[in-house]
Structure 1
Amino acid sequence: MQLRTMYKNWSGLKGGYILAFVFFLQANAFSQNIIIPVETQHSALVLQTNSNNNLNIVYLGAKLSDKKEYEAITAQYKQTSEYTGVSNAAYPASGSRNLFEPAITVTHADGNNSLDLQYVRHETKKLDENQSLLTVTLKDPVYDLEVRLFYKTYFKEDVTEQWSEIKHNEKGNVVLHKFASAALYLKAESYWLRQYHGDWAKEMQPEESRLTHGIKTLDSKLGTRTDLFQAPVFMVSLDKPATEEEGTVLYGALEWSGNFRIELELDNQDNLRLLAGVNNHASPYTLKPAEVFTTPAFLSVLSFRGKGGASRQLHAWARNYKLLDGKGDRLTLLNNWESTYFDFNETKLKALLKDTKALGVDLFLLDDGWFANKYPRNNDDAGLGDWQENKTKLPNGIASLVSEAQANDVKFGIWIEPEMVSPRSELYEKHPDWVVKQPNRKEYYFRNQLVLDLSNPQVQQFVFNTVDNLFIKNPKLAYIKWDCNAVVYNAYSAHLTNQSHFYLQYVQGLYAVLQKIRKKYPTVPMMLCSGGGGRVDYAALQYFTEFWPSDNTDPLERIFMQWEYSYFYPAISSANHVTDWGKQPIKFRTDVAMMGKLGFDIVVSKLQEKELRFCQDALKTYNTIKPIIWQGEQYRLQDPVSNAVAAVLYLNEQKTSGVIFNYLVNNRYGAGSERPIRLKGLDPKKRYRLKELNLYPGTTSTIDADKSYTGEFLMTIGYNPDVKAERASVVLELKAE
């Protein structure tokens, strides 16, 4: 306290000598190294100051019961000389002693590029019985620049969120060239990275490889829809590739909907440093004196029970703390897109509303094509931005459809893509300065459209008004599908004077709009759609109840995609629709879509009588089991890559009820469930019965529903769902006696 008072009293004096003297006193005051454990139920991140008053990470691993023993960890490593004393820095800076990739790089007001961050103080606040927040303050001893590191822990879920704040009081602006959210440092024999790449209709394609020396970078520079080619989620296994239930594995995910950058650097001592944050590509940030720059959060969960253990912890955290209404309900729906595409009118839609009622879902969703008059939205090359009902298609407006939905005892939802604009639109003609485009270059389109400049407050208000006006005119509107199909080409804002701020301020503008919408309409369900999983992350999912994993709804493909998404996102957040994609029968398609939030995108009137009856019965069954799917613990039993049969179990917290999905994913001759599939997570002493659900009309089950098994038997020996070509999809209910 005395040193901080001295600093405050002397801070007005000229030069860096006073600051340097104060930090000299502090270094002597802290000559005994300070240990700061950041603990959750099972794991610990341990920070420690060294003799130079730098703050380092000395441990990331299983929590020790005796906190004093954290002090003994460093001495147990007899690695080669480290040279700098900051290679394991909690927030490595550049331009001083650091020889590795920095988390922060700055140019000071006087043009100097060096930075040395030293420990000043830390404070821990217990937010509630499960959440704690550690704040650590670091300062440069010469320049008046401060970084605050935040570690928010969720004890029961083993999740930690990290972010940073950067500010200064120099006599002029400081330029931030790099500004990571978090740094981690790990020690192991080897490291195995599981990362994800993709494209439209090919989302979440996994790759696993051993990390070698140097830097592995996962990043995006797309501006919007930034997950299209590379996902901001990953996992690192320590010592060997983790399996579903065995091995040590770290999950990481950046909570940011814009350009991201994740770096994994294996150093000369075989230690791994991990940096995650906003991509600094084309984005140096000019920080004014006293301005606070806050980075987005990076979340991590460390599991010692394999990939499955990590995912179950992350799912619980998401439902409890991050996903909008994560413990609430969801609406099943019928979407018109694959029934009509752009070719519809009021008469067709009213017939589909009757189909919605006949099918038995909760809501009808009107997709793209309902708006614009001067440049009608009859295909995807016109109309975006002109959010008035098309008078030819909808002479009585959306209101008449909402009323018709009410008359059929269903709800009504609508599609919008409010961040985008078509070159052929009235909005573009009236406000060309609202469009992201270089003034002296030819326009280049993605899906025949451009991006609106959400760094501009006027554009933010326009996007908010687009949503707000829909609700003002149609108070009974019950659902929004929010699309985002374009990426940023020729990045330029007519509003901004500093173009290097564009990528940051676009995303901040998007969040400002979503916060305003949620303040006025806190409970309306909204789907986060981006031509598929182009924008799914936990920052966006604070505002959306669900996301659209992929436009590829082929059920066989979806088994693989949903498998990978499920490592990071709970089933309640995944919108899965039954469509006409793929060659599988309606039962297979419906069973796959039930592993999440179920919807339909089919022509109900063209279903055969048995198909319609199956769908109606399946919806009734789904309504009884959806609490287990949405809120239960997920156990992946057999993966679709190395097995002919894929199997997934959802089990309630009491271990008394579960649902098992089994799918044939190999069409080779004789493929099927030759061997039993072992269950996981059961009470070994309880007895369970297995009953087949979702039987197609006219078929009988081969599963003996009268027979019971102990949990021990089902986990040791297993069960056989009798999956084969003529029984390609089998859904089983698990009940304790």
Structure 2
Amino acid sequence: MKVQIHLPFFSACNLKSVRFWFFAAVLLQNAVAHEASAQLVTIPVETQHNALILQAGAKKDLKIIYFGKKLANQKEYELIPSGSKQIEDGTELLNSAYTPAGSRNLFEPAISVTHADGNNSLDLRYVKHDFQSISDGVSLLTILLKDPVYNFEVTLFYKSYFKEDVMEQWAVIRHQEKGDVVLQKYASANLHLKAGSYWLKQYHGDWAKEMQPEETKITHGIKTLDSKLGTRANLFQPSVFMVSLDKPATEDEGTILYGAVEWSGNFRVDLEVDQQDNLRILAGMNNYASAYTLKANQDFVTPAFLYTLSSQGKGLASRNLQQWARNYKLLDGKGTRLTLLNNWEATYFDFNEDKLAGLLKDTRKLGVDLFLLDDGWFANKYPRNDDHAGLGDWQENKQKLPNGISSLVKEAQGNRVKFGIWLEPEMVNPKSELYEKHPDWILKQPQRAEHYFRNQLVLDLSNPKVQDFVYQIVDGLFTKNPDLAYIKWDCNAVVYNIYSAHLKNQNHSYIEYVRGLYKVLEKIRAKYPLVPMMLCSGGGGRVDYAALKYFTEFWPSDNTDPIERIFMQWEYSYFYPAISSANHVTDWGKQPIKFRTDVAMMGKLGFDIVVSKLSATDLEFCQQAIKTYNEVKPIIWQGSQYRLSDPRENSVASMFYINPEQSAGIIFNYLVNNRYDEGSKLPIRLKGLDAAKKYRLKEINLYPGTNPGIDEGKTYSGDYLMKIGFNPVVNASRASVVLKLEAL
């Protein structure tokens, strides 16, 4: 369409005037454009391969204008908004970096508040930002947002890890209003993604069925992942997820975002596709039954939301996250771990000093580092002989252990092994002295009938007295037994009928419980910084990176059937490194001892078997397997992990770990389909090798009396192994094959 402008006839005299006004208009237009440009604040947050670009314009709305591969020229980020020709955004907040409720916003907010005067609206405008270098490769961006009407502010934090392409994001909320403000919602992060379509991979489960994956296309509207369990929050719905852009990502192709909420209580993730077909992700604590009253000049700090973006599929994203965890988050992530023998499968609650003395000798005979005494060692008035009584009464049971834990620690030292112990310090049985003495220490509604999960209730960790009690349980054990070497920290119940006798505001109960737990763990770690502790919650019911700051490892599931564990450990490995996964050899499943041991070696190895009932050959195998494991565990724990053959898509599962020098690796191969004539019919292509190096493959962890099923005399180039592959010869008679790869 052409627009014609008709001007009246001008004489030569007034033509000069026309020229003057024309040039004046051009200058004015340029000045306006310059002023708008000067008011534009563009804030790039870059990692090695990615960039998150924030921008505030003349109205000071902070927006996300880009999240993807970084550009070579930072100045060109400012050009990105001009390329979008989407339908108009009437709110001007669709791509907000932290969306407030009640003003112009029409979509799911990141934050919603009720001001001291009862007003429910909030408007957040950019004030300033600051970059800070924390250490080599780690930076922190802070952005201050304020409401122009109310004395209310939010500071956004973006902690970036350059080499790992990982980001942690959280918010600090504060006000100086004349009265209390009620926070109705308080997300940690508010992401905005642009793509043609979006695919969500989420997880669900239950006891012994953890980490069951589902992948679906995200349609318009809101998809919410959340937990309202209080404790053991990940039981039904883990707080980790993946989002693929444009199409479902594969192991090595596609753009994918991994997300994880670093919070051990109720969490919430909202995924909303808006009318412009963009995806908004809001993640943090669940605001369910948790409207939080914030007093003036107090900080409300949200937990971190963790995410990483990969343009080369799921495998790279997982390796980035694993490396980040080992370097920065997991307790002693670059350190070592103890192999152990647990007594649970051998004795359950039925043991005494003589039985345990025999098991301590078996620990030495087996060749592991530590003996772990599980549930059942405590309580006298209501002895812990089953799971109906005793929780909360943490004194040694005099009938079972007349000489106490200290005699067992000495017995362990006499057998040249270490000693560890099981605790469930957050819980109480109604049949206990603690319940009788301190009913006000328990989370329960005074007006409601008690409802139990595994015959127990949850202690009120929002109460400082309860925090001290739980700390003293641990500290008392170490004070009496300085050589105690390991804690298995369990948490088997969820919260029903939540009510805290300590708190005046019951809306704070869910949040203050978790904060109280962290206070206890902080205090324990201040005094005992390096004692190994396993995070157990009926299995993987609590694992997250806020908790893993305090624990060296976690228990993925009570289901230790090795076939089931192959699938579970596969999914966990997308988010957590092998060194953090406690895997035990037990009597679950019908597979031979070699198969069970091989599966458990893909992490931190332990045993929960009756050593005295092993055949001589099985015992010989286990002893040699532990020696083999001690030789190769640095590769498994610190190496790069590559998934070669997916058990959900193939008859053979294959997992590969290789050291940073690309000179040594371990390949685990398992038959997961027992139908007739199934096995590794084709070569399995390796990944992550040096194409120019020459490699040799050797079969390890062989059962006594068996020979290698592969030709160990040949050598292969890395190029050949990655393009053609190698057949580990997995079949019904060789259901588990472990190979060691070494560069010549």
Q: TM (normalized to structure 2)?
A: 0.95
Aligned pair partner of 1:461 in 456, 461, 468:
468
Letter in 2 for 1:307: K
Q: Map 1:92-103; keep pairs closer than 5 Å.
A: 92-103=99-110
Establish whether residue 283 from structure 1 lines up as the match of residue 286 from structure 2.
Answer: no
SS at match of 1:614: helix
Match of 1:349 in 2: 356
Match of 1:554 in 2: 561
CA distance in 1, matches of 2:501, 2:180: 23
**1:369-421 deviations in Å (ceiling 9; x for gaps):** 00000000000000000000000000100011000000000000000000000
CA distance in 2, matches of 1:521, 1:689: 44
Match of 1:623 in 2: 630
Match of 1:411 in 2: 418
Establish whether residue 139 from structure 1 lines up as the match of residue 146 from structure 2.
Answer: yes
CA distance in 1, matches of 2:390, 2:624: 40
For the 8 Å contact 2:322–2:577, the answer to whether it is kept is yes
CA distance in 2, matches of 1:31, 1:286: 39
For the 8 Å contact 2:392–2:427, the answer to whether it is kept is yes
CA distance in 2, matches of 1:635, 1:658: 10
Q: Map 1:112-127; keep pairs closer than 5 Å.
A: 112-127=119-134
Aligned pair partner of 2:274 in 267, 272, 289:
267
Establish whether residue 641 from structure 1 lines up as the match of residue 654 from structure 2.
Answer: no
Q: Map 1:144-163; keep pairs closer than 5 Å.
A: 144-163=151-170
For the 8 Å contact 1:418–1:466, the answer to whether it is kept is yes
Match of 1:665 in 2: 672
Match of 1:601 in 2: 608
- Per the TM alignment, residue 347 of structure 1 is displaced from its structure 2 partner at its CA by 0.3
CA distance in 1, matches of 2:311, 2:286: 30
Aligned pair partner of 2:702 in 683, 692, 695:
695
Aligned pair partner of 1:706 in 700, 704, 713:
713
SS at match of 1:73: helix
CA distance in 1, matches of 2:171, 2:447: 37
Establish whether residue 164 from structure 1 lines up as the match of residue 171 from structure 2.
Answer: yes
For the 8 Å contact 1:166–1:293, the answer to whether it is kept is yes
Letter in 2 for 1:319: R
- Per the TM alignment, residue 32 of structure 1 is displaced from its structure 2 partner at its CA by 2.3
Match of 1:523 in 2: 530
For the 8 Å contact 1:93–1:117, the answer to whether it is kept is yes
Establish whether residue 46 from structure 1 lines up as the match of residue 57 from structure 2.
Answer: no
For the 8 Å contact 2:201–2:243, the answer to whether it is kept is yes
CA distance in 2, matches of 1:122, 1:523: 37
CA distance in 2, matches of 1:550, 1:84: 46
SS at match of 1:137: strand
Establish whether residue 565 from structure 1 lines up as the match of residue 555 from structure 2.
Answer: no
Establish whether residue 79 from structure 1 lines up as the match of residue 103 from structure 2.
Answer: no
Establish whether residue 229 from structure 1 lines up as the match of residue 263 from structure 2.
Answer: no
**1:527-570 deviations in Å (ceiling 9; x for gaps):** 00001000000000000000000000000000000000000000
For the 8 Å contact 1:691–1:705, the answer to whether it is kept is yes
For the 8 Å contact 1:30–1:53, the answer to whether it is kept is no
Aligned pair partner of 2:494 in 487, 493, 517:
487
Aligned pair partner of 2:250 in 243, 246, 258:
243
CA distance in 1, matches of 2:60, 2:49: 29
Provide closer, same or farther for how the CA distance between residues 77 and 620 of structure 1 changes in structure 2, counting only shifts above 3 A.
same
SS at match of 1:120: strand
Establish whether residue 506 from structure 1 lines up as the match of residue 532 from structure 2.
Answer: no
- Per the TM alignment, residue 128 of structure 1 is displaced from its structure 2 partner at its CA by 1.7
Match of 1:12 in 2: none
**Matched residues, percent identical?**
73
Aligned residues: 711
Match of 2:739 in 1: 732
For the 8 Å contact 2:699–2:739, the answer to whether it is kept is yes
**1:596-619 deviations in Å (ceiling 9; x for gaps):** 000000000000000000000000
For the 8 Å contact 2:208–2:539, the answer to whether it is kept is yes
Establish whether residue 632 from structure 1 lines up as the match of residue 632 from structure 2.
Answer: no
Match of 1:325 in 2: 332
**1:220-254 deviations in Å (ceiling 9; x for gaps):** 00000000000100010101111111111000001
CA distance in 2, matches of 1:557, 1:421: 31
Match of 2:458 in 1: 451
Establish whether residue 653 from structure 1 lines up as the match of residue 660 from structure 2.
Answer: yes
SS at match of 2:521: helix
For the 8 Å contact 1:245–1:309, the answer to whether it is kept is yes
For the 8 Å contact 2:186–2:302, the answer to whether it is kept is yes
CA distance in 2, matches of 1:694, 1:346: 34
**1:99-127 deviations in Å (ceiling 9; x for gaps):** 11000000000000000000000000011
For the 8 Å contact 1:368–1:416, the answer to whether it is kept is yes
For the 8 Å contact 1:119–1:139, the answer to whether it is kept is yes
- Per the TM alignment, residue 31 of structure 1 is displaced from its structure 2 partner at its CA by 5.8
- Per the TM alignment, residue 50 of structure 1 is displaced from its structure 2 partner at its CA by 2.5
Match of 1:583 in 2: 590
For the 8 Å contact 2:689–2:718, the answer to whether it is kept is yes
Match of 1:395 in 2: 402
CA distance in 1, matches of 2:136, 2:445: 52
- Per the TM alignment, residue 265 of structure 1 is displaced from its structure 2 partner at its CA by 0.2
Aligned pair partner of 1:676 in 668, 680, 683:
683
**1:120-174 deviations in Å (ceiling 9; x for gaps):** 0000001122110000000000000000000000000000000000000000000
Match of 1:23 in 2: none
CA distance in 2, matches of 1:383, 1:474: 22
Aligned pair partner of 2:212 in 205, 208, 213:
205
Match of 1:5 in 2: none
SS at match of 1:485: coil
CA distance in 1, matches of 2:541, 2:738: 30
For the 8 Å contact 1:645–1:664, the answer to whether it is kept is yes
Q: Which runs of 5+ in 2 are unaligned?
A: 1-34
Aligned pair partner of 1:218 in 213, 222, 225:
225
CA distance in 1, matches of 2:708, 2:742: 17
CA distance in 2, matches of 1:31, 1:124: 20
**1:40-78 deviations in Å (ceiling 9; x for gaps):** 000000001123210000000001110011011111111
CA distance in 2, matches of 1:658, 1:342: 41
CA distance in 2, matches of 1:681, 1:327: 21
Using the TM superposition, name which of 700-709 and 86-95 deviates more: 700-709
For the 8 Å contact 2:602–2:636, the answer to whether it is kept is yes
Aligned pair partner of 1:194 in 201, 206, 217:
201
Letter in 2 for 1:246: E
Aligned pair partner of 1:471 in 452, 467, 478:
478
For the 8 Å contact 1:244–1:308, the answer to whether it is kept is yes
CA distance in 2, matches of 1:412, 1:29: 68
For the 8 Å contact 2:36–2:58, the answer to whether it is kept is no
Letter in 1 for 2:530: T
Q: Which runs of 5+ in 1 are unaligned?
A: 1-27
Q: TM (normalized to structure 1)?
A: 0.96
- Per the TM alignment, residue 29 of structure 1 is displaced from its structure 2 partner at its CA by 9.1
SS at match of 2:666: strand
**1:471-510 deviations in Å (ceiling 9; x for gaps):** 0111100000000000000100000000000000000000
Letter in 2 for 1:202: K
Provide closer, same or farther for how the CA distance between residues 173 and 29 of structure 1 changes in structure 2, counting only shifts above 3 A.
farther
SS at match of 2:39: coil
For the 8 Å contact 2:189–2:305, the answer to whether it is kept is yes
Establish whether residue 442 from structure 1 lines up as the match of residue 475 from structure 2.
Answer: no
Aligned pair partner of 2:306 in 285, 299, 302:
299
Q: CA RMSD in A?
A: 0.9
CA distance in 1, matches of 2:709, 2:355: 42
